[in-house]
Structure 1
Amino acid sequence: METTSTRCANTDHLVIIGNGMAGHRLVEVLLKQPRRPSRITVIGAEPIPAYNRILLSPLLAAELDEDALTLHDADWYRRHGVELILGEQVERLDRTQRRLTTHSGRILDYDRLVLATGSRPAMPPVPGIELEGVQGFRDMQDTARLTAAAERGGRAIVVGGGLLGLEAAEGLRKQGHGKHGMAVTVLQRGERLMNRQLDATSAELLRSELTKRGLEVLTGARLAAIENNGQGKVAGVALEDGRRLPADCVVVAAGITPNAELGRSAGLTVELGINVDDTLTTSDPYVHALGECCEFQGTTYGLVEPIWRQAEVLAARLSGTKASAYFDLPSATKLKVSGISLYAFGPTEATDDHEVLSYHDPEQGDYRRLLLQEGRIVGAVLYGDTACGPWYFEQSLAGTNLNACRQALLFGQADSQALLDSQTSSDYSKEVA
């Protein structure tokens, strides 16, 4: 009797719906496996091959060319025996027949299917959200429209003071600088920028720097409506406190919504995202999902690190090799705005259970705050000099007791590691004795 894993590795037709970063990463990892599905087809809704969406912000800021974002061109897929179909949206999924149909009428049968359909901006349910000039910031087409808007000048409102909103705002400001000029205002519902990652001090440092650059930042600003100019285009925004701000374009960067509609219409178990188990398998054993469209144990995804680990787990399963189970790990946050270095992970607020270590040099613009619990780092915020950030995160993941280097923790990795190594050596000597 043929096992599922052998059949999958040697004879199956694997179809991947989605040619974004998650789908592309899965293909890359599959090609490195000792065995792989005998036929792989990738379907992408966009008309261009996969590109690095993380670099959309520097592209908008005119710091990169479009070519710098391309992960692999179409010829790369051909050389590796992968069929690439671009510019087609899958509209129907028949799980009984294991068959899908695209908007052009193309029909494909599959043995295994992977949904990597990504996400879209979460649009607030306010009047005027459908007006011309309101958009998200998720793909190359969005970036092209925002670039054109910046070149025309005028006023832009960015809704969302998180990572993506700040990157979009700074990109618009830089793109419009020296041309017709674009005034950019950021609206943040909370009382501080990046409130999920930063404490009050680091958030204020960030706000101060962005304000110096020419951005207007309004915190505690809740969007009530987007106003119509009478011709179906944006004229401005209204806030819940009664203020009205003029605008020529509105960029919504206040979270994402998984593209789970295809899975839902096919009868898969879907909550916010398409539910998967620790092998990235949906409620249908022949259908898998990964990336921003999936949901695992109540968690959905928007950062690269967990999605890369999902790709490793799923590629092993699809290749018939032994796969470890997927599980969530903490992730660190880095802001991609030129001239600003920021690194953070863990809780933003200290509790009675935390020991707080902090360092602030206003003249140099450096700030570091560590949260420790029983000698172990559980959270950190670094602004300015972030060189130690990855080391702190590594120690946090490892659960390393840092009491031996506590006095040096805020002032450098080298000194801290030297003290740790010295303590380890001393402990070993005592054991030998």
Structure 2
Amino acid sequence: MKRKLVVIGAGMASGRMLEHLLAADPDGWDITLFNAEPRGNYNRIMLSPVLSGEKTWDEIVTHDEAWYAANRIACRFGEPVVRIDRQARVVHSNRGSAPYDKLVIATGSAPFVIPVPGRDLPGVVTYRDLDDTNAMIAAARPGAKAVVIGGGLLGLEAAAGLRQRGMEVTVIHLMGHLMERQLDPAAGYLLQRDLERRGIRVHCRGSTAAILGKDRVEGVLLEDNTGYEADLVCMAVGIRPETRLAVDAHLEVARGIVVDDRMVTSDPDILALGECVEHDGQLFGLVAPLYDQAKVAAATLMGQDAAFRPVQTATKLKVTGVDLFSAGDFADKPGREDIVFRDPARGVYKRLVIEQDRLIGAVMYGDTADGSWFFGLIKDATSIAPMRDTLIFGPTYQGGATANPLAAVAALPPEAEICGCNGVCKGTILTAIEGGATTLAEIRATTKASASCGTCTGLVEQVLASALGDAFEKPAAQPICGCTDLTHEDVRRLIKARGLKSMPAVMQELGWKTSCGCATCRPALNYYLLADWPGEYRDDPQSRFVNERNHANIQKDGTFSVVPRMWGGVTTPAELRAIADAAEKYAVPMVKVTGGQRIDLLGVRKEDLPAIWADLNAAGLVSGHAYAKGLRTVKTCVGSDFCRFGTQDSTGLGIRLEKRLWGSWTPHKVKLAVSGCPRNCAEATCKDVGIVCVESGYEIGVGGAAGMDVKETERLAKVATEDEAIEIVVAFVQLYREHAKYLDRPYKWLAKVGLDWVRAQVVEDRASRAALVARFDLSQSIHQRDPWAERAIPQARAGFAPLADLTREAAE
């Protein structure tokens, strides 16, 4: 008869324990799994990318319904356990009970809430699980204000995610610099500087006195009387082990549920693991030791000898574009010495802390490639005396190593940790390679290395390359999707080379594995066919993302935004009256000026879209294509007509560019700006295409960005006339249309093809430029139209997507 195992908590620790247990003994247990959340195991490490919009819920699910069903696990999700009866060996929930032979408590931790007035106001949230994340997503809207209390790992990840959703974010931190547990002041300064460059305000040495508001949160007041307005307050000041069930059951509890080396509590039939436990006086909040606990707990349940031995862990911050590594002890104490490397121009800082010829701490910012090697030296207490002079330069420079890029990973010992999330060392990966794993996917499947947060992927590939030598095949570029092995670049090339002019032709001739494609490949194919055969291919609305199908941006509540185009940011009293009338007529909840100098009507019901656009069209307004993979805005300053510093008519040039380019489909959204002088009030130097007017003409830059990545434009050309500037911009856009991978912004495409090649095509070769302009104009003659104009309304209605179909949206 099967033994009954009850598990309380369906988090990452218990999920990994079940994997180990089922792999070793798939039929030995009758398993019941309780979880207070109404869902199973998901990768909490990836909540930050979900908050920022970089990932979806489906992408972070670890165990789905099919997995639980295949392993015959009785899932009781959304059913919190309220009591453990140790004498009867029964667990009681708010809906029933379940007997056990063995019980595993994995209740995790609860967020700490500062006991200040106003902490219970609506709009005050913590950041711990998917519900917290969804609450923040629901509250996030561009221009709203968020205050994050806590400048540690979670707080900064929350702040970055909210900022990427358009909120104005302030971080309040009690200590003198951010992440003081992981960073020294110098690295903390660099982190604060980078966050402030992203538009996140940081207030250190700030102690919260009260959260203000009546019916909901309105602001935060500090002890020094500094106040910050807030539509949302996120508390991320720490966690506490969730021990209430254990306390009520009279198990031994200190700060956490006390366990021995075998993860057994004071009751021999009850185990515990994860953030709720205390082992040898230590608590655990990072995933690597939790996974070690999971392995030991599974072994204990199977009657095997195993012992949990905590190891040092390293820290990385999951904020796009921030490279940060910290491990060990870096406090200033007598008898210690520092080795410090600084490169202010590159934003690189490295500090190594040495004590008695041993590396005991490392802090790295801006360049963390050698982090795993330094971490190995710390864990192993390796003597660094022979390499003291070159230690700061990493493993490549030790023992006479030269510029071989694989020398660093080859120098790592087998016990060096490669994947911190899953506790996978180099030796484990080498064993998998010896067993026949030769690709990254196979390594992930057999060892789980790089299967969680993914930051170690490059290092895993280097281990593969080092071990396999010439037999290692550099990973091919990612295919478009699972329907094909072809990359975006392959498909574009073959569409042109073979004259493929329909989606069935592409799928048939290029060997698609599915008969009609999927939500990933169909939008890309639709764009490539539309761009390459503008006069022959007919656009397929159902192969567009939901916003493009509906010709409006869907909002979180299922309503839509309406954005009329304002040429170069210029409008008239008549247009403003028409917008005001429409806003009143259709009870628009919010009217907002956007960053692109337009007016956005937010909260329009789907059924009202045709009618509101009919009214706006009648007033001469056309779609601003705010939803499109196409031209969004051309931002301008007032230029020479009004500004005393203006050198050229930037407004007029912006209007000419917008009227020339609007309605053109592109691989991703495109934003332009024209500044009338080098003071750059239109922010032209961080747009996809930006023109800065000077006394002698027009300086054209391309490849800027001001979203998840912040990047300054690169100089493409300087010309003397407006006409030549427009011609070069049109040619550049067409070259981008013809060669870029779908969903690559121009700066990503430029990084692949090189600015010199682009300059040769659109600046230096006049014949090539003219041909590009001609092809753009041909496409525009067919596609440049307002989808809401009267002739297009029936087609727009036919292309509407039911809300149930809102399964995927492009990353903005």
Using structure 2 for the length normalisation, give the TM-score: 0.49
The SS at the match of 1:151 is coil
1:221 aligns with 2:198: no
Of 325-334 and 208-217, the range deviating more from structure 2: 325-334
Is contact 2:208–2:221 with CA below 8 Å preserved after alignment? Answer: yes
The SS at the match of 1:187 is strand
What does residue range 190-201 of structure 1 map to in structure 2 within 5 Å? 190-201=175-186
Is contact 1:36–1:319 with CA below 8 Å preserved after alignment? Answer: no
Counterpart selection for 2:363 from 357, 376, 381: 381
Is contact 1:37–1:318 with CA below 8 Å preserved after alignment? Answer: no
Q: Deviations over 1:238-278 (max 9, x none)?
A: 11112222111110000001111111111111122111111
Is contact 2:373–2:394 with CA below 8 Å preserved after alignment? Answer: no
1:27 aligns with 2:18: yes
The percentage of counterpart residues that share the same residue type is 43
The SS at the match of 1:184 is strand
CA distance in 1, matches of 2:396, 2:11: 39
Q: Which residues of structure 2 form unaligned runs of 5+? A: 402-407, 414-812
The SS at the match of 1:32 is helix
Greater than 6 Å deviation, 4+ residue runs: 419-422
Q: Which residues of structure 1 form unaligned runs of 5+? A: 1-9, 177-181, 425-433
CA distance in 2, matches of 1:320, 1:295: 22
Q: Per-residue deviation at 1:329?
A: 1.7
- CA RMSD, Structure 1 to Structure 2 (Å): 1.8
Is contact 2:107–2:243 with CA below 8 Å preserved after alignment? Answer: yes
Q: Per-residue deviation at 1:36?
A: 6.8
Of 325-334 and 285-294, the range deviating more from structure 2: 325-334
CA distance in 2, matches of 1:158, 1:119: 20
- Aligned residue for 2:261? 278
CA distance in 2, matches of 1:201, 1:60: 28
Of 27-36 and 127-136, the range deviating more from structure 2: 27-36
Q: Per-residue deviation at 1:417?
A: 5.8
- Aligned residue for 2:758? none
CA distance in 2, matches of 1:203, 1:32: 43
What does residue range 129-278 of structure 1 map to in structure 2 within 5 Å? 129-151=119-141, 153-176=143-166, 182-228=167-213, 230-231=214-215, 233-278=216-261
The higher relative CO (CA closer than 8 Å, separation ≥ 6) is in 1
In structure 2, what residue type is equivalent to 1:243? T
Is contact 2:259–2:278 with CA below 8 Å preserved after alignment? Answer: yes
Say if 1:36 and 1:307 are closer, same or farther in 2 by CA, change over 3 A: farther
- Aligned residue for 1:416? 398
In structure 1, what residue type is equivalent to 2:250? G
CA distance in 1, matches of 2:93, 2:254: 24
Which structure has more helix as a fraction of its residues? 2
The SS at the match of 2:42 is coil
1:308 aligns with 2:299: no
- Aligned residue for 1:317? 300
In structure 2, what residue type is equivalent to 1:43? F
Q: Deviations over 1:255-305 (max 9, x none)?
A: 001111111111111122111111111111111111011111222221001
- Aligned residue for 1:6? none
Q: Per-residue deviation at 1:350?
A: 2.5
In structure 1, what residue type is equivalent to 2:252? T
Which structure has more strand as a fraction of its residues? 1
- Aligned residue for 2:270? 287
In structure 2, what residue type is equivalent to 1:70? V
- Aligned residue for 1:431? none
Is contact 2:86–2:249 with CA below 8 Å preserved after alignment? Answer: yes
The SS at the match of 2:34 is strand
CA distance in 1, matches of 2:344, 2:180: 21
CA distance in 1, matches of 2:27, 2:109: 27
1:353 aligns with 2:335: yes
Q: Per-residue deviation at 1:171?
A: 0.3
- Aligned residue for 2:316? 334
Of 71-80 and 145-154, the range deviating more from structure 2: 145-154
CA distance in 2, matches of 1:18, 1:312: 16
CA distance in 1, matches of 2:337, 2:300: 43
Say if 1:318 and 1:199 are closer, same or farther in 2 by CA, change over 3 A: same
- Aligned residue for 1:5? none
- Aligned residue for 1:77? 68
Is contact 2:330–2:360 with CA below 8 Å preserved after alignment? Answer: no
CA distance in 2, matches of 1:237, 1:299: 34
Of 406-415 and 32-41, the range deviating more from structure 2: 32-41
CA distance in 1, matches of 2:2, 2:92: 22
Is contact 1:156–1:185 with CA below 8 Å preserved after alignment? Answer: yes
CA distance in 2, matches of 1:97, 1:152: 55
CA distance in 2, matches of 1:11, 1:327: 31
Counterpart selection for 1:117 from 107, 116, 126: 107
Using structure 1 for the length normalisation, give the TM-score: 0.90
- Aligned residue for 1:41? 32
Is contact 2:328–2:378 with CA below 8 Å preserved after alignment? Answer: no
Say if 1:418 and 1:19 are closer, same or farther in 2 by CA, change over 3 A: farther
- Aligned residue for 2:3? 12
Q: Per-residue deviation at 1:100?
A: 1.0
Q: Per-residue deviation at 1:385?
A: 0.7
